Amino acid sequence: MDCAVSKPWTRIAALFFFSVLLAPNLWAQASPNAQDLLRQMTLEEKIAQLSQLPGMPIPEFKEQVGNMEDVVRKYGAGSVLWVSDPKEINRLQHIAVDESRLHIPILFGLDVIHGYHTIFPAPIAMASSWDPKLAESAQTIAAREARAGGISWTFAPMLDIARDARWGRMVEGAGEDPYLGAAMARAQVAGFQGSQPGSLDRVLACAKHFAGYGAADGGRDYDSSYIPEEQMWNTYLVPFKAALDAGVGTFMSAYMDLNDVPATGNRWLLHDVLRDSWHYRGFVVSDANAVHSLIAHGYARNGQDAAIKAFSAGLDMDMASGTYLKYLSEEVKQGRVSMDQIDNAVLPILEAKIRLGLFEHPFVDEGQIPRVPNAPESQELARAAVQRSLVLLRNEQALLPLDKRQIRSIAVIGPLADAELDLLGMWGAMTKPGPTVSILQGIKNKVGGTVRVEFAHGPNIRRDIPSFFENVAILPVKEQPQQTPEQARKAFNDAVATAKRNDVTVLVLGEIALMSGEGASRSSLKLSGGQQELLEAVIATGKPVVLVLVNGRPLDISWAAEHVPAILETWYSGSQAGNGIADVLFGDANPAGHLPVSWPRNSGQEPLYYDHNRTQSPEDAPDFTSRYWDSSSNPLYPFGYGLSYTSFSYGNVAVDRAQAKVGSIVNVSVDVTNTGNRPGDAVAQLYLHQRAGSASRPVRQLKGFQRVALAPGEKQTLHFKLGPDELQFWSPVKKEWSVEPEQFDVWVGADSAAKLHGEFHLTP
């Protein structure tokens, strides 16, 4: 036994530490019983629990229900969102706990999407790491920081499959693939919630936006989605089911019409799928104002109709529209909604508050806050996350990594080169972000005084149509100022001159934060605002150029892919962006990110995804006709693609048997070797194809992946299991999940174009 713990006083201290500090619920006052509480509640108090009140002034809300604080005082409130000032949280919580009749605490919710104080890379970047453990660790830190600041509910993870880069919210999710999406969903739920509900360093997670939001027509945000049932089950619902299996506490309904029925009033989604088929017992919150928006959709006649349509579809909590507060009690009095239905909706909300330990610990300990966000290990993890999520798209003649002993001067150029807030993306900037290291600063930190670094901004970039969010007070990200043509020309010329007089240029182009995210759809994926011209002029200087992309979605970089020797995709990489990017640029970290989306050549190819079905005239046929006549049909970079400073070879793919019975497990192994001279990580991916069946099956589907670290010359044999979970699909003919006795192909390799092939047959 450790002698320190054997002394009586240290034993007592250890006991205190483990039982009191690590398991706060042990010393807390007993929580009330949810049923007992429910029995004491009036109808109005119950409806208040079904309501989430906006923490910023919304005139429509005020019009519907009056002053938010009066509601809290009189009836309590289920939740409040968009408040992150701990003082304000405590003030409102005191009203609920001290002044409302039943003293039920408020659940404070916020979009803690990829960090609270320490901002991690945006979700699409985290997915590019193909490292779910990393995502879990990052969300553990996000949860700890948020909870210390009084936030106990996050509206994350965002699980929308996104197959159209024109849709701005691609940045918020794990990309196009349900298998990768499911892995990232499980990891994030585990990170946010942990295994011990009630730990005071965890938060309740929310699987959003249920479901089909990423398939918006034309990639236009909020537009209708038309998704056949088989695609819902096989693709769009998969990450949500994974989150549910991982124990996610809440769901959020999506904004858009799904097959003509808005998701917020869609009983098939909220009841048939979620409750009947999946046996979900938590609660569902709407998206912001979405209950009231049922009127705008042309689905509800008025507020009363909206309330009853959403509620009877299975929508428990109304986010910020006040529609339930205004109309639901009348519906009960008129007998259109029963008290049992109300109770069934309120119960999981009370239970969530109890599980979170909110009754015992309703207030923020303001004195404790600074300790949590300033933990140095959080910044270290954020930096490692940047290194692990960057995707090297091109590296001709091994231009990267840069060797600071060989370079005398570097030009760091571009409208995002000195950006800070923009590197956090929209949500990252909205919480309580700490300082951000710009790319310019990261490079300066890296080269110290040994290499001269010269900065030029180039012309400003702006959206053609400004973002609605620019005027939202809690969002500090802004457009870059409008310039006169003369100012823009001067900035352009300065940038090109800067490139000319330095040895190497790091050119940072892409999208400011407001160009991606909610309400940020685009018809073109081209580099906007003169950035393409700047790129071409800088390349024309003849100096070596590294293009560093900062953006929330794939952009049209077809020209760059032919003319720029090195291209590094960095997405929005958070607080440690500059340091992590410089680590990769100068070879202190070896990039191993792989694309979680197929990278299009142009926006005309969208929607674009690798797991499409084969046509009668497939791409490998000599008379391939189902293609564009003015552009390739293939992506610029396939799903799963990413380069390294070393090289890997894949060989000896082995399927353990040629025949297996339906229901059994087929084992696949493959050798991966680091054939270069640097240590690096390989991301081995396994793809599956069912050759025939009750329905046409995609050309290939990701069914396994592993990220492994390999020393130069090292070989590892990786093993994958293909069991019923991997082999099944939802058959539109049988209307059920089915594993079919058919011939299957497998491919293993570094991306979705992998050639190394094996096969097996499933028998009845």
CB of 469 to ligand BGC, least distance (A): 9
Q: How many CA atoms, within 13 angstroms, populate the side-chain half-sphere of residue 170?
A: 34
Active site residue 725: no
Q: Are strands 729-731 and 736-738 parallel, antiparallel or unpaired?
A: antiparallel
Neighbours of 12 (CB within 10 A): 10
CB of 111 to ligand BGC, least distance (A): 5
CB of 89 to ligand BGC, least distance (A): 16
Q: Are strands 648-655 and 666-674 parallel, antiparallel or unpaired?
A: antiparallel
CB of 160 to ligand BGC, least distance (A): 10
What are the strands of the beta sheet with 659-661, ordered from one edge?
A: 659-661, 756-763, 743-749, 680-690, 701-710
List, in sequence order, every residue forming a beta bridge with 250; answer none if it has no partner: 206, 283
Q: How many CA atoms, within 13 angstroms, populate the side-chain half-sphere of residue 446?
A: 29
Rounded to whole angstroms, the Cα distance separating 378 from 141 reads 7
CB of 541 to ligand BGC, least distance (A): 43
CB of 81 to ligand BGC, least distance (A): 6
What are the strands of the beta sheet with 715-722, ordered from one edge?
A: 648-655, 666-674, 715-722
Q: Does 420 bind ligand BGC (CB under 6 A)?
A: no
For 53-98, give the DSSP string: EESS--HHHHHHH--HHHHHHHH--SEEES---HHHHHHHHHIIII
| Nearest residue (CB) to ligand BGC, 159 versus 382 | 159
| Nearest residue (CB) to ligand BGC, 322 versus 635 | 322
Query: Closest Cα to residue 415, out of 372, 472, 383, 458?
Result: 458
| Nearest residue (CB) to ligand BGC, 84 versus 329 | 84
Contacts of 144 (CB under 8 A, 6+ apart): 201, 202, 372
| Nearest residue (CB) to ligand BGC, 517 versus 596 | 517
- What's the one-letter identity of residue 270? L
Q: Does 316 bind ligand BGC (CB under 6 A)?
A: no
| Nearest residue (CB) to ligand BGC, 288 versus 739 | 288
| Nearest residue (CB) to ligand BGC, 250 versus 644 | 250
CB of 213 to ligand BGC, least distance (A): 8
Q: Between residue 586 and residue 625, which ones bind ligand BGC under the rule CB under 6 A?
A: none
Per-residue x/- marks for ligand BGC, 160-199, CB under 6 A? ----------------------------------------
Q: Does 681 bind ligand BGC (CB under 6 A)?
A: no
Nearest residue to ligand BGC, by Cβ distance, number only: 155
Rounded to whole angstroms, the Cα distance separating 414 from 495 reads 8
Residue 532: both structure tokens together: 């393409």
For 684-734, give the DSSP string: EEEEEEE-SSSS--BS-EEEEEEEEEE-TT-EEEEEEEE-HHHH-EEETTT
CB of 444 to ligand BGC, least distance (A): 35
Q: Which candidate in 160, 257, 287, 318 is catalytic?
A: 287
Query: Closest Cα to residue 593, out of 553, 550, 640?
Result: 640
Rounded to whole angstroms, the Cα distance separating 520 from 535 reads 24
| Nearest residue (CB) to ligand BGC, 114 versus 601 | 114
Per-residue x/- marks for ligand BGC, 105-124, CB under 6 A? ------x-------------
Q: Between residue 269 and residue 298, which ones bind ligand BGC under the rule CB under 6 A?
A: 287-288
Residue 431: both structure tokens together: 């919480």
What are the strands of the beta sheet with 107-110, ordered from one edge?
A: 153-154, 107-110, 79-81, 51-54, 318-319
DSSP letter (8 states) at residue 110: E
Q: How many CA atoms, within 13 angstroms, populate the side-chain half-sphere of residue 20?
A: 6
Q: Between residue 426 and residue 465, which ones bind ligand BGC under the rule CB under 6 A?
A: none
Give the CA dihedral 357, 78, 222, 427, nearest 10 degrees: -40
Q: Between residue 56 and residue 95, which ones bind ligand BGC under the rule CB under 6 A?
A: 81
Q: Between residue 14 and residue 43, which ones bind ligand BGC under the rule CB under 6 A?
A: none
| Nearest residue (CB) to ligand BGC, 176 versus 518 | 518
Residue tagged 């912001």 (tokens): 288
Per-residue x/- marks for ligand BGC, 204-223, CB under 6 A? ----x---------------
Rounded to whole angstroms, the Cα distance separating 232 from 585 reads 41
| Nearest residue (CB) to ligand BGC, 81 versus 337 | 81
CB of 305 to ligand BGC, least distance (A): 23
Measuring CA to CA, how many Å separate 743 from each of 53, 435, 737?
55, 55, 18
| Nearest residue (CB) to ligand BGC, 265 versus 442 | 265
CB of 226 to ligand BGC, least distance (A): 20
- How distant is the alpha carbon of residue 399 from its chain centre? 31
List, in sequence order, every residue forming a beta bridge with 253; answer none if it has no partner: 210
> Helix or strand or coil: residue 393?
strand
Query: Closest Cα to residue 378, out of 552, 46, 146?
Result: 146
Residue 701: both structure tokens together: 């589907």
DSSP letter (8 states) at residue 163: -
Q: Does 155 bind ligand BGC (CB under 6 A)?
A: yes
CB of 172 to ligand BGC, least distance (A): 7
Buried b or exposed e, range 553-569, using 16+ CB within 10 angstroms: bbbbbbebbeebbbbbb
Q: Are strands 545-550 and 504-510 parallel, antiparallel or unpaired?
A: parallel
Q: How far apart are the first and last CA of the chain?
A: 57
CB of 245 to ligand BGC, least distance (A): 22
- What's the one-letter identity of residue 52? Q
Q: Does 518 bind ligand BGC (CB under 6 A)?
A: yes
Rounded to whole angstroms, the Cα distance separating 431 from 428 reads 6
Let me know: does 204 contact 249? Beta carbons within 8 Å.
yes
* Number of amino acids touching ligand BGC (CB under 6 A): 7
- What's the one-letter identity of residue 706? Q
| Nearest residue (CB) to ligand BGC, 58 versus 165 | 58
CB of 72 to ligand BGC, least distance (A): 19
Let me know: does 383 contact 576? Beta carbons within 8 Å.
yes
Catalytic center residues: 287
Residues that bind ligand BGC (CB under 6 A): 81, 111, 155, 208, 287-288, 518
